[in-house]
Amino acid sequence: MSKATHSLPRTIAAHAVLIAYTVIALFPVVVIIINSMKSRNAIFRTPLSPPTPETFDLVGYTTVLAQGDFFLYFQNSFIVTVASLFFVLLFGAMAAFALAEYRFKGNTLMGLYLALGIMIPIRLGTVAILQLMVASGLVNTLTALILVYTAQGLPLCVFILSEFMKQVSDDLKNAGRIDGLSEYRIFFRLVLPLVRPAMATVAVFTMIPIWNDLWFPLILAPSEATKTVTLGAQLFIGQYVTNWNAVLAALSLAILPVLVLYLIFSRQLIRGITSGAVK
Amino acid sequence: MGSLKIENVKKSFGSVDVLKGIDLEVNDGEFVVFVGPSGCGKSTLLRVIAGLEDATSGNVLIDGRKVDAVPPSDRGIAMVFQTYALYPHLSVRNNMSLGLKQAKTPTDEITRRVATASSMLSLEPYLERRPAELSGGQRQRVAIGRAVVREPKLFLFDEPLSNLDAALRVNTRLEIAQLHRRLSATMIYVTHDQVEAMTLADRIVVLNGGRIEQIGRPMELYNSPANEFVASFIGSPKMNFIDGAHLGEPKAKTVGVRPEHLTVDAKSGAWKGTVIHAEHLGADTNLYIDTEKAGLLTIRIFGVYDAEPGATLYATPNPAKTYRFDADGKTLA
């Protein structure tokens, strides 16, 4: 170990920067969680102190669980996120594979066209989307949300994955062809495992905006049966009075599932089983 | 059992012609090496034979059967790649047996073939390992084993030794030569290394710019190259080329002499020159001499020869072993 890269001041400085960043990033989350477990008075009087035996109160959680159908909201959010994610990754990876692997006329143009969505926010088309959903009878269904989110996530997915797919060795795909694997098996069995880290990155980038979205649930699926968590939490924000205990409790609960999904994908990010296929 | 015929195969990528009409016949059991500089189309030709690329025009016949519309897996070929291209998620055993499973070969037949191939290549201890747990040489042996178990009519090797270090390259070259003798299978081997070509081939096909320059046995190419390109490509160190006009050869544009066909003397000889550099390899010595008449010459002397840079030496070509080329580079009789 060389001294230059492991001197004590450097180590301390590096850790100081990282710790400072962690504190800044976690601060709002921690504030939400500690305040969700305090009584209403304590939230306003000492918003930064952790709950003490006097101020500890789970009234927010009991309100959330009693009022409104929060489990249903969770379920809705979960279904929408997971289904959209599945379709984004499946179709995005397939399109990326075709763009990266096959030579055909207009390949580059098609790639640019598919990536166009990165630059144009899908919300610009809200009115047209709503008309489309009304016409097809999909208003107040989870299907509507899944379709919109799939469309929203695809451009970035195609863009990132096609770059990664180009790096997968041609020899490996050709070896598969000589061994008689179909193009589908080459895609699913040889190429997808090799771009798994990229898929996990795309999954994280795609998942979080979907889970947090308020706009499309509010417009396309505001019915009681199809409310998502973010929309459900709005229940407690009133025009005159806001039930902060309940809002904070709902938000704390909403962090959990997305955290679990993130942990699943981040494991994939780290996994290095792909090394050694080719030199 | 494994003959190959290529009829006027052409291949273009857009406006770039990579293969400009290739005709070739390979007999059953022959070891043929495609050799040429990078970009000469040798790999593309191999891919066309394998069916990984479609030829723009022309036909490929394996065992007399036209295979232009046959997918790679049904052509009766097996291919070994430069980057090994092993399936990273499969063990060595499954890497070797995947192709047979796809072809619905009975299980006991697969087991038997994998056992034969792995004993032939001494891979038995590694059968349950993943490619990531093997060294470069072992990976390439697995790749060769994967080709062997298919019992193909035609083995295709695409620069299989390029990723190995020098010592392993010699060993693996030997293994490939033994494999060819044992299986007496037809093999086609692509390389840019003329040493591999000379040591392995029954016949060498020299390619340049999408055309075949010459086809012949290694010694034919060495002793009677058809043109200047083949003469310069085969042999190491490279042949010396001297402007014919300087030597008073009116008919020859260029005169070629191999470094090993030049002798040196300290006192007298045909071309006087000064030593620029000497490479002592033990078994032989390479001298670089700047001559007044013939320009810079490389001379290969067998054994040890002491020559300091700056010393004056006389070089004399062996008249029976000089080559004359016309303005188009063709060899003159």
What pLDDT, on the 0 to 100 scale, is given for residue B156?
A: 95
Nearest residue of B to residue A275 by CA position? B132
Gap between the Cα atoms of B111 and B121, Å rounded: 15
Is residue B320 packed enough to be buried (19+ CB in 10 Å), middle (13-18) or exposed (0-12)?
A: exposed
Q: Which residues contact A144 (CB under 8 A, 6 or more apart)?
A: A133, A138, A220, A221
Confidence of residue A1 (pLDDT cuts 50, 70, 90): very low
What pLDDT, on the 0 to 100 scale, is given for residue B12?
A: 93
Confidence of residue A273 (pLDDT cuts 50, 70, 90): very low
> A273–B131: do the CB atoms touch at under 8 Å?
no
User: Residue ranges of the domains in chain A?
Assistant: 8-57, 62-270
**Residues of chain B found within 8 Å of residue A108, distances taken between Cβ atoms:** none
What pLDDT, on the 0 to 100 scale, is given for residue A279?
A: 36
> A274–B88: do the CB atoms touch at under 8 Å?
yes
Gap between the Cα atoms of B214 and B207, Å rounded: 7
User: Residue ranges of the domains in chain B?
Assistant: 4-230, 238-332
CA distance A161 to chain B (A): 20
What pLDDT, on the 0 to 100 scale, is given for residue A232?
A: 85
The answer to whether B146 and B115 are in contact (CB under 8 A) is no
Confidence of residue A237 (pLDDT cuts 50, 70, 90): confident
Q: Which residues contact A141 (CB under 8 A, 6 or more apart)?
A: A221, A226
B332 phi/psi in degrees, rounded to 5: -90, 140
B9 phi/psi in degrees, rounded to 5: -80, 130
Digit-coded pLDDT (tens) for A119-138: 888 999 999 999 999 999 99
Confidence of residue A105 (pLDDT cuts 50, 70, 90): confident
Residue closest to B300 by CA, chosen among B257, B241, B247: B257
How many Å is the Cα radius of gyration of chain A?
23
> Quick one: B4-230 is in which CATH superfamily?
P-loop containing nucleotide triphosphate hydrolases (3.40.50.300)
Residue closest to B146 by CA, chosen among A250, A179, A117, A248: A179
Higher pLDDT, A1 or B65: B65
Gap between the Cα atoms of B267 and B48, Å rounded: 57
What pLDDT, on the 0 to 100 scale, is given for residue A3?
A: 54
* Domain B4-230 matches domain B238-332 at the CATH topology level: no
Digit-coded pLDDT (tens) for A179-192: 999 999 999 989 99
Q: Is the pLDDT of residue A234 over 70?
A: yes
**Under CATH, to which class is B238-332 assigned?**
mainly beta
The answer to whether B258 and B305 are in contact (CB under 8 A) is no
The answer to whether B218 and B198 are in contact (CB under 8 A) is yes
Nearest residue of A to residue B130 by CA position? A276
What pLDDT, on the 0 to 100 scale, is given for residue B10?
A: 94
Digit-coded pLDDT (tens) for A6-56: 688 888 999 999 999 999 999 998 998 888 888 888 888 888 888 888 888
Q: Is the pLDDT of residue A73 over 60?
A: yes
> Please, where are the H alpha helices in chain B?
42-50, 92-102, 107-120, 136-149, 166-183, 194-200, 218-223, 228-233
Gap between the Cα atoms of A246 and A65, Å rounded: 9
Residue closest to B279 by CA, chosen among B257, B294, B251, B300: B300
What is the mean predicted confidence (pLDDT) over B3-22?
92
CA distance B101 to chain A (A): 9
**Residues of chain B found within 8 Å of residue A176, distances taken between Cβ atoms:** 87
Strands B57-62 and B65-66: antiparallel
**Under CATH, to which class is A62-270 assigned?**
mainly alpha
Confidence of residue A266 (pLDDT cuts 50, 70, 90): confident
Confidence of residue A276 (pLDDT cuts 50, 70, 90): very low
Interface size between A and B, measured as CB pairs under 8 A: 87
Confidence of residue B312 (pLDDT cuts 50, 70, 90): very high
Task: Please state, rounded to an integer, the average pLDDT across all residues of chain A.
Answer: 86
What is the mean predicted confidence (pLDDT) over B56-66?
93
> A178–B103: do the CB atoms touch at under 8 Å?
no
What is the mean predicted confidence (pLDDT) over A241-264?
84
Task: Please state, rounded to an integer, the average pLDDT across all residues of chain B.
Answer: 92
ipTM: 0.85
